Amino acid sequence: MPHKSFDSKHIHSLTQAILASYQDDMGTNFIDVKNLPVRDKILFVLNSLMELLFPGYTGRRPVSSENIRSIIQEILVMVRRELADQIELALRFNCKLKDCPACDCRDLASKCCEKLLNQIPHIRQILKEDVQAAFDGDPAARAPEEIVLSYPHLCAIAIHRVAHELYRMDIPLIPRMMAEYAHSQTGIDIHPGAQVGRRFFIDHGTGVVIGETAVIGNNVKIYQGVTLGAVSFPKDEQGNIIRGKKRHPTLEDDVTVYAEATILGDIVIGKGAVIGGNVWIRESVPAGAVVTIAKPESLYVTRGRRKPVEKNSE
């Protein structure tokens, strides 16, 4: 029997209160919504694309030189169908927001899907360079296979390079869904709008945040906890955030950023600069510069007081 405090009358009144909370909604319920991509299908497509990028690495099916051609063709046909359906849903949702009923969402979705699939060979080439950068940059790595199978950076950047292509096509929702899946799996948060160059390596990776308008050059290496963020968000006369403007840093080629550094705003970290750990940067840094926090004094503690350690006079 239901508890007295939770009888049928109470359930009825609570149901009414919950229903009332759905009124004048701001996108927090999806009742009767048909034109939204389905998260599980997006993840299925994404995992299938990962099979094209790194064939056989999941171990879900045996892959050999004899069957690889048929596997590629099977995945291409499946992704072409499933992803086109999800892109169409995302485009129709966008059309509803912008009130553009004349748009041929189905045809546009097909073209966008084919454009992405045509980029797979190019994405694979860049990912090979990312793997090599990680192998060259981490003496703990014993083999490239170890990087592909276990390094969170490689998973995050592979998904980002796919999501970024869709972002460039102005596909709503789906790129961000992919990026946030990568974030949940790796602890690395790369907005799909960020432009990332070749031979990119994130060592360790946990806690890295790279904002939408960040630009990263070639041969860049960053460590865990690094933030490439924005200082503030300009607003219009009505107090609404102005979107689409450059507000995140640019890291030129050959930059290294050590752990927990925070770099904010539309500034430039020049070619070959080295940013030390735990620094806070809001101004551009010239090429070749080394930026570190002030070297702390060595201290010892006596009776609750901290005093500088006396240097040996010898």
Q: Are residues 173 and 277 in the same domain?
A: no
CA 238/CA 293 separation, integer angstroms: 40
Residues 39-59 pLDDT 10s:
999 999 999 999 999 998 877
Name the amino acid, one letter, at 114. E
Query: Final residue of a domain: which of 189, 205, 227?
Result: 189
Query: Residue 69 domain-assigned?
Result: yes
CA 69/CA 54 separation, integer angstroms: 14
The pLDDT of residue 297: 64
Q: State how beta strands 274-275 and 256-257 pair.
A: parallel
20 — pLDDT class (breaks 50, 70, 90): confident
Between 95 and 27, name the one with better pLDDT: 95
The model's pTM is: 0.85
Q: Are residues 123 and 245 in the same domain?
A: no
Query: Residue 224 domain-assigned?
Result: yes
CATH number, residue 72: 1.10.3130.10
CATH number, residue 258: 2.160.10.10
Query: Residue 18 domain-assigned?
Result: no
Query: Final residue of a domain: which of 189, 222, 257?
Result: 189
Residues 107-139 pLDDT 10s:
999 999 999 999 999 999 999 999 999 999 999
Domain that includes residue 228, residue range: 194-314
Contact present, 271 and 253 (Cβ < 8 Å) = yes
SS3 216: strand
CA 304/CA 244 separation, integer angstroms: 52
Query: Residue 4 domain-assigned?
Result: no
CA 204/CA 206 separation, integer angstroms: 6
- Tokens read off for 28: 């927090």
Q: Are residues 142 and 68 in the same domain?
A: yes
CA 280/CA 273 separation, integer angstroms: 15
Q: Are residues 199 and 165 in the same domain?
A: no
